[in-house]
């Protein structure tokens, strides 16, 4: 097994122990641990889960914008901070929140222990800043759980096969949580955040957006890839590959959130359309005079995530998440290229659309009524994405949410 293979493996067959009844992994993001009071609330929540009989493993992010501040400090001292040292630096934020939370748990009369990524046995490759998990040696976690301790694991980090501290990149704490849930055979991985679940659209744009009770891994992948910010793509992939049930819910309420799980568990409620997502700002590059193979090799080497690709004859059009990286890669190829900065993307996602060919037609007619002309369209079996003018994105989201009647429960919709 190579380092890069691990995260894509179908299951942790060899490493995972038999599922131990009642193990739960609970992950809390930066806003959920932003200050001392919120950390205390997290401690209380963990204690409640422990008192309900669970073996509790928590993964915490850094408090508020601690990590951003550390990155800023690094850029104050160096224009291009060495990756190894940047990881040493920015991995401290999660340790701070974990140790503080452990103190608060002790004050509530329970035993707790905080572990660094390294102490928790999270072994990664050596790709600093975007390391991949290659192994989880959870013996220390098991020992602590056997002693009835609540275990707090610093998210977003691990120790490399060269014994250096690594970080997992954006959304790394979600990945830590899902990987631990897989390795520990946990019943579920609960992702606590500042919203109460996954919605049919961004509630700031669509006032009657509904919280989804459940979505499939595939839908969640498309939702995350096309703009839903609640979960990082990579952690959803990891969850699907290792069959970890995710539960996205609010840190600030006890209400159920959104479950992300196998599609077949919820055939009855399989929606035609689960949600409308958007990305307000996309950069679309148009390149001529290079083969797709050479272009994508250069982009991959620069670590650029490509969203959509269209090839028409000699032209390749693609959108990329990381502008500067993409432009470095294009520069290295010595080809002609141009970039459009005036576009955004709107997508509809639903596992049910596989068997309903009318979705695209309905989508385009809803946009046409507003006079919106998609510039680029990209599709997958369960998603249709349209690049539209950046200033029309919100309007488009609202129109599509209404067209597919997403404000209504599934059963009450008049499906096209």
Query: Interface with its own copies by CB under 8 A: which range of 33-41, 230-238, 244-252, 275-283?
Result: 33-41
Cβ-count burial 339-378 (b if 16+ within 10 Å, e if not): ebeebbbbbbbbbbbeeeeebeebbbebbeeeebebbbeb
In sign, the C-alpha dihedral spanning 73, 75, 80, 83 is positive
Alpha helices (H) in 22-91, listed in sequence order: 36-51, 66-77, 83-90
- Kindly tell me which residue out of 15, 65, 85, 322 binds its own copies, with binding defined by CB under 8 A: 85
Query: Interface with its own copies by CB under 8 A: which range of 75-83, 193-201, 268-276, 373-381?
Result: 75-83
Total residues in contact with its own copies, by rule CB under 8 A: 37
Query: Interface with its own copies by CB under 8 A: which range of 97-105, 171-179, 271-279, 348-356?
Result: 97-105
Q: Does 143 bind its own copies (CB under 8 A)?
A: no
Asked if 231 and 220 touch (Cβ cutoff 8 Å), the reply is: yes
Which one, 130 or 340, has the nearer CB to its own copies?
130
Rounded Cα distance, 275 and 210, in Å: 9
- Kindly tell me which residue out of 16, 41, 71, 103 binds its own copies, with binding defined by CB under 8 A: 103
Which one, 163 or 357, has the nearer CB to its own copies?
163
Query: Interface with its own copies by CB under 8 A: which range of 85-93, 205-213, 251-259, 367-375?
Result: 85-93
- Kindly tell me which residue out of 15, 64, 71, 106 binds its own copies, with binding defined by CB under 8 A: 106
Nearest approach, Cβ of residue 160 and its own copies (Å): 12
Supply the DSSP symbol for 192. E
Kindly report the number of other CB atoms within 10 A of residue 127's CB atom.
17
**Residue for token digits 């502008």?**
323
Question: Taking Cα atoms as reference points, which of 243, 186, 141 lies closest to residue 20?
Answer: 186
φ, ψ dihedrals at 99, nearest 5°: -70, -40
Token code pair at residue 177: 């949580």
Query: Interface with its own copies by CB under 8 A: which range of 13-21, 34-42, 237-245, 334-342?
Result: 34-42
- Kindly tell me which residue out of 114, 176, 347, 392 binds its own copies, with binding defined by CB under 8 A: 114
Rounded Cα distance, 165 and 152, in Å: 18
Rounded Cα distance, 21 and 24, in Å: 9
Query: Site residues for its own copies, window 147-176 (CB under 8 A)?
Result: 163, 165
Q: Does 126 bind its own copies (CB under 8 A)?
A: no
- Over the window 290 to 329, marking each residue x when it contacts its own copies by CB under 8 A and - when it does not, the resulting string is ----------------------------------------
Q: Does 77 bind its own copies (CB under 8 A)?
A: yes
- Kindly tell me which residue out of 26, 47, 56, 98 binds its own copies, with binding defined by CB under 8 A: 98
The H or E element that residue 295 is part of is helix 292-301
Cβ-count burial 213-222 (b if 16+ within 10 Å, e if not): ebbbbbbbbb
Which one, 76 or 355, has the nearer CB to its own copies?
76
Binding site for its own copies (CB under 8 A): 36, 39-40, 70, 73-74, 76-82, 84-86, 88-89, 92, 95-96, 98-100, 102-104, 106-107, 112-114, 116, 119, 140, 163, 165
């Amino acid at each position: 097994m190579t380092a890069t293979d691990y995260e894509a493996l179908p299951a942790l067959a060899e490493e995972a122990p038999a599922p131990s009844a009642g193990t739960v992994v609970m992950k809390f993001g930066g806003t959920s641990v932003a200050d001392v009071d919120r950390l205390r609330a997290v401690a209380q929540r963990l204690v409640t889960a422990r008192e309900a009989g669970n073996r509790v493993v928590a993964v915490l992010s850094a408090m508020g914008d601690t990590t951003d501040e550390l990155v800023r400090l690094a850029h104050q001292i160096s224009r291009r901070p060495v990756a190894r040292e940047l990881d040493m630096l920015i991995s401290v934020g999660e340790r701070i929140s974990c140790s503080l939370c452990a103190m608060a748990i002790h004050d509530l009369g329970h035993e707790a222990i905080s572990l660094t990524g390294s102490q928790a046995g999270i072994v990664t490759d050596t790709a600093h800043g975007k390391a991949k998990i290659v192994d989880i040696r959870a013996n220390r976690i098991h020992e602590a759980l056997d002693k009835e301790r609540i275990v707090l694991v610093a998210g977003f980090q691990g120790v490399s096969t060269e014994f250096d501290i690594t970080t997992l990149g954006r959304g790394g704490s979600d990945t830590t949580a899902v990987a631990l849930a897989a390795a520990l055979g946990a019943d579920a991985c609960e992702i606590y955040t500042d919203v109460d679940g996954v919605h049919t659209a961004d509630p700031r744009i669509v006032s009657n957006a509904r919280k989804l009770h459940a979505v499939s891994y595939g839908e969640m992948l498309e939702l995350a890839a096309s703009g839903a910010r609640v979960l990082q793509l990579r952690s959803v992939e990891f969850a699907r590959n290792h069959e970890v049930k995710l539960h996205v819910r609010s840190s600030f309420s006890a209400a159920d959130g959104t479950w992300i799980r196998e599609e077949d568990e919820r055939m009855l409620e399989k929606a035609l359309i689960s949600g409308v997502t958007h990305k307000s700002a996309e950069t679309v590059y148009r390149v001529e005079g290079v083969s797709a193979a050479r272009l994508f090799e250069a982009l991959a080497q620069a670590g650029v995530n490509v969203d959509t690709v269209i090839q028409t004859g000699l032209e390749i059009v693609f959108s990329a998440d990381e502008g500067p990286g993409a432009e470095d890669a294009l520069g290295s190829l010595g080809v002609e290229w141009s970039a459009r900065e005036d576009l955004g993307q709107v997508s509809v996602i639903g596992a049910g659309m596989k068997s309903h060919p009318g979705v695209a037609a309905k989508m385009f007619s809803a946009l046409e009524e507003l006079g919106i002309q998609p510039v680029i369209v990209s599709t997958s079996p369960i998603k249709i994405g349209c690049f539209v003018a950046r200033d029309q994105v919100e309007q488009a989201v609202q129109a599509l949410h209404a067209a597919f009647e997403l404000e209504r429960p599934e059963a009450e919709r008049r499906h096209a």
